[in-house]
A and B are shown apart, each in its own frame.
Chain A
Amino acid sequence: MKKWKIFRKTGTARKKNTKNREFAVITYSFLGLFLCLMGYFGYFEQVKSEQFINNPYNKRQELFTQSVIRGEIYSADGVTLAETLTDDAGNETRKYPAGRIFAHVVGYSTHGRTGIEALANFSLLRSNIFYMEKAVSDLQGEKSPGDDVTTTLNYEIQLRAFDALGSYDGAVVVMEPETGKILAMVSKPDFDPNTIAQDWDELVSDESSSVLVNRATQGLYPPGSTFKIFTTLEYIHENPGYEDYSFYCDGEYTVGRKTIHCHGNKRHGQENLEDSFAESCNSSYASLGLTLDIDRFATLCEDMLFNTELPTTLEYSKSSFVLAPGDSESAVMETAIGQGKTLVTPFHMALVTSAIANDGVLMTPYVIDHVNDNEGNLVRLYQPKEYGMLLSENDAAILQQYMKAVVDEGTATKLKNDNYEVAGKTGSAEFSSSSDSTHSWFVGYAHKDGKPDIAVAIIVEDSGIGSEYAVPIAQEIFDEYYKEEE
Chain B
Amino acid sequence: MTDLIVEISKYLMTFLFALYTYECFSSFRGKLSDEKRQGIFRRQMFLMYLIHLDAYLAIYAVTDDIEMILFYIIQVAFVAITISCYRLIYGRSSGLLVNNMCMLLLLGFIMLTRLSIDKAYKQFGIAVGSMVITLVIPILIQKVKFLRRVPWLYAAIGILGLAVVFALGATSSGAKISIAVFGISIQPSEFIKILFVFFIACMLYEKTDFKRVCITTVLAAAHVLILVLSRDLGGALIFFITYLVMLYVATRKLFYFAGGILAGCIAAVVAYNLFAHVRVRVLAWQDPLSVIENEGYQISQSLFAIGTGGWFGMGLYQGMPEKIPVVEQDFMFSAIAEELGGIFAMCLLMVCVSCFLMFFNVAMQMKEQFYKLIALGLGTVYGFQVFLTVGGATKFIPSTGVTLPLVSYGGSSLLATMIVFAIAQGLYILRQDEGNLNEKKDGTKRRRTGTKRRKTGFDEEVEDFS
Q: Determine, out of B47-55, B74-82, B263-271, B386-394, the stretch whose residues face the partner at the interface.
A: B386-394
Q: Is there a chain A Cβ closer than 8 Å to B43's Cβ?
A: no
Q: Is there a chain B Cβ closer than 8 Å to A374's Cβ?
A: no
A10 to B461, CA, bound (A): 24
A53 to B289, CA, bound (A): 10
Tell whether, in the assembled complex, residue A23 and residue B368 are in contact, meaning their CB atoms are under 8 Å apart: no
Sample of 27 A–B contacts (CB below 8 Å): A1-B440, A4-B441, A7-B367, A12-B368, A13-B368, A23-B363, A25-B257, A26-B248, A27-B360, A27-B465, A38-B350, A41-B342, A44-B306, A44-B307, A45-B306, A53-B304, A55-B304, A57-B289, A59-B320, A60-B304, A60-B308, A60-B319, A60-B320, A60-B323, A63-B320, A138-B3, A141-B3
Tell whether, in the assembled complex, residue A20 and residue B364 are in contact, meaning their CB atoms are under 8 Å apart: yes
Q: Is there a chain B Cβ closer than 8 Å to A248's Cβ?
A: no
Tell whether, in the assembled complex, residue B396 and residue A27 are in contact, meaning their CB atoms are under 8 Å apart: no
CB-contacts of B1-39 with A (<8 A): 3-4, 7
Q: Is there a chain B Cβ closer than 8 Å to A420's Cβ?
A: no
Of A3, A10, A50, which is within 8 A of B307 by CB? A50
CB-contacts of A1-30 with B (<8 A): 1, 3-4, 6-7, 10, 12-14, 16, 19-27, 30
Q: Which residue of A lies closest to B4 (CB)?
A: A139
A55 to B383, CA, bound (A): 33
From known contacts A23-B364, A37-B390, infer whether A57 and B461 are also in contact, taking CB-CB under 8 Å: no
Q: Which 10 A-B pairs have the closest CB atoms?
A: A49-B307, A12-B369, A53-B307, A60-B308, A58-B304, A45-B342, A22-B249, A20-B461, A13-B367, A40-B396
A138 to B461, CA, bound (A): 52
Interface residue SS majority, chain B: helix
Tell whether, in the assembled complex, residue B459 and residue A37 are in contact, meaning their CB atoms are under 8 Å apart: no
Tell whether, in the assembled complex, residue B433 and residue A3 are in contact, meaning their CB atoms are under 8 Å apart: yes
Q: Determine, out of B154-162, B183-191, B219-227, B310-318, the stretch whose residues face the partner at the interface.
A: B310-318
Q: Is there a chain A Cβ closer than 8 Å to B346's Cβ?
A: yes
Tell whether, in the assembled complex, residue B307 and residue A57 are in contact, meaning their CB atoms are under 8 Å apart: no
Chain B residues within an 8 Å CB radius of A16: 459
Chain B residues within an 8 Å CB radius of A55: 289, 292, 300, 304
Q: Is there a chain B Cβ closer than 8 Å to A242's Cβ?
A: no
Chain A residues within an 8 Å CB radius of B364: 20, 23
Count residues of B near A (Cβ-Cβ below 8 Å).
Answer: 63
Chain A residues within an 8 Å CB radius of B438: 4
Of A4, A41, A141, which is within 8 A of B396 by CB? A41
Tell whether, in the assembled complex, residue A57 and residue B300 are in contact, meaning their CB atoms are under 8 Å apart: yes
Q: How far is the CB of B5 from chain A (nearest CB, A)?
A: 12
Tell whether, in the assembled complex, residue B346 and residue A42 are in contact, meaning their CB atoms are under 8 Å apart: yes
From known contacts A10-B368, A27-B465, A42-B346, infer whether A37 and B307 are also in contact, taking CB-CB under 8 Å: no
Q: Is there a chain B Cβ closer than 8 Å to A34's Cβ?
A: yes
Chain A residues within an 8 Å CB radius of B3: 138, 141
Q: Is there a chain B Cβ closer than 8 Å to A255's Cβ?
A: no
Chain A residues within an 8 Å CB radius of B205: 12
Other than the given A31-B353, A44-B395, 9 more pairs (CB < 8 A) read A20-B462, A23-B461, A24-B461, A25-B257, A38-B349, A42-B342, A59-B304, A60-B304, A139-B4
